[in-house]
Amino acid sequence: MTTIAQLRNVSKVFDRTKAVDGVNIEIQEGETMALLGPNGSGKTTLLKILAFIERPTSGEVYFGNRKVTDENVEQLRLESTMVFQKTMVFNSTVFDNVAYGLNVRKIPKEKIQKDVSETLELVKLEGFENRKARKLSGGEQQRVAIARALVIKTELLLLDEPTANLDPKNASIVEEIISKVTKETGTTIVMATHNMFQAKQLPTRIGLMSNGQITEVGTPSEIFGKLSKTLASFGAVENTFKGEAETAEEGTTLIDIGNNVRLQTTSQCRGQVNVFIAPADIILSRIRLESSARNTFKGKILEISDLDSLVKLKVNVGKPFTVQITKRSFTEMGLNINSEVFLAFKASNVQVI
C-alpha cells in the first residue's frame, strides 16, 4: 500500500507539557485509522499535526514522499482537512457552508453546484441547501461540517471525536457516512475517538494512545482480541465493568454489574460481558433530572481530582463511577466529598467491549 502520511519520532510540547511524545506512525492510502484513547492522551494534537495546523516541537512529518517544511506547509495544507469536535458552521445557508472551500479554490460555478449536491446527498442532507446552517440541530450541523470537508476532496480527512456530542440517531448517520466515504471515494480517514464500540466497527486499523504515545497499532480484531496494558488501564480508569447481560424490553439489554446496579444498553448481547461508559458521557447533577437517559443512579462522591479546567470525580452508586465535569460546574454545584449526586447516561453510551 502507498503511505500517504508519516510521522517520525514526532513530539509536541505545550508549556512544558508533552502532548505528543515520540510518535512513529504511517497512514496508508485509503484506510480508516482510529486513534483510540482517553481524553488528554494526545489524539487531538496528533490530528492537528497531520492537518498541518500545529508544527511538531521535534521530529519529522512526511506527506506522500515530501517532507513537510516551512516552505511547502501552506501548499500541503490544501491536501489535508480536519473536522473539529466542536462543530463550526458559518452564519449562512447550508449550500454556502459546503461550497466555501470550492469558492476559495475558484472552482467553476457549475462544478460547485454539482459537487455540493452530491456531497449533501452523501451526508443525507439533500434538500437542505437553502436552510440556515446555524438553525439546524447539532447533529445536522456536524454533517454540514463533514460535507464541507469532503467536498474539497483532500487526500486526508481528519475527524476529532465525530460523534461525541450527538444523539444516537445522528451518531449512527455519521458512522454510516464514515464507512461509506472510505468505500465509495477512497478517501483516507484518521479519526480520534474514545468510543470503544466505534473503534471496533469503523476503522481498518487502530492506534492505541496513552500519555502522548502510540503504544500499539493493529486491526480491531488484533487490538480487542487481547487485553493489552494500555487498553486495560484505559478501561479500568474509564468505567469498565463485568456483568451478566439479558434481553430487556424494546430491544434493549440489561446488564447486572453487581451491588444492585443494572445498566441498560442498546447493544444486543447475552451472558458474561464487559461494558464501558466514558466519563464525559455521564451527566452529574444535584437533583434527579427529567431526561431520556435510561440509566439514572443516586450516589455519593468518594474522590475529587483537580485537572485544571476539569474536575474528575469518583462517585459510588453501588459501584464506583468516574465522572468528568468542568470546574465551573463543580463550583456552581458546591460539591464536596460525601455530597449526594445523581448520575445519568443514555443506553447508547453503555458500550459492550
User: What pLDDT shows up at residue 186?
Assistant: 84
Helices vs. strands in the chain: H and E counts, helices first = 10, 20
State the cell numbers at 108: 467553476
Quote the CA–CA distance of 234 and 43 in Å, as a whole number: 14
**CATH code of the region 238-352:** 2.40.50.100
Quote the CA–CA distance of 281 and 164 in Å, as a whole number: 8
pTM: 0.69
**Cβ-contact 275, 310 below 8 angstroms:** no
**Cβ-contact 283, 268 below 8 angstroms:** no
> Which residues are CB-neighbours of 335 under 8 A, at least 6 positions away?
301, 304, 313, 341
**Tens digit of pLDDT at every position of the chain (353 positions):** 799 999 999 999 998 889 999 999 999 999 999 999 888 899 999 999 999 999 999 999 999 889 999 999 999 988 999 999 888 899 999 999 999 999 989 999 999 999 999 999 999 999 999 999 999 988 899 999 999 999 999 999 999 999 887 877 888 888 999 988 888 888 999 999 988 778 888 999 999 998 999 999 999 888 876 656 677 666 554 688 889 999 887 778 999 999 999 999 998 888 998 888 878 789 999 999 888 888 999 999 999 998 777 898 999 999 999 998 998 999 999 999 999 999 999 998 888 87
Helix (H, G, I), strand (E, B) or coil at 46: helix
Domains of the chain: which residue ranges? Answer: 3-234, 238-352
Q: Options 3.40.50.300, 3.50.30.40, 3.90.1150.10, 2.10.77.10; which CATH number does 3-234 get?
A: 3.40.50.300
- Residues linked to residue 176 through DSSP beta bridges, in sequence order: none
Domain pair 3-234 / 238-352, same fold: no
Angle between helices 168-185 and 109-122 (to 10 degrees): 120
Quote the CA–CA distance of 283 and 274 in Å, as a whole number: 21
State the cell numbers at 107: 472552482
User: What pLDDT shows up at residue 233?
Assistant: 64
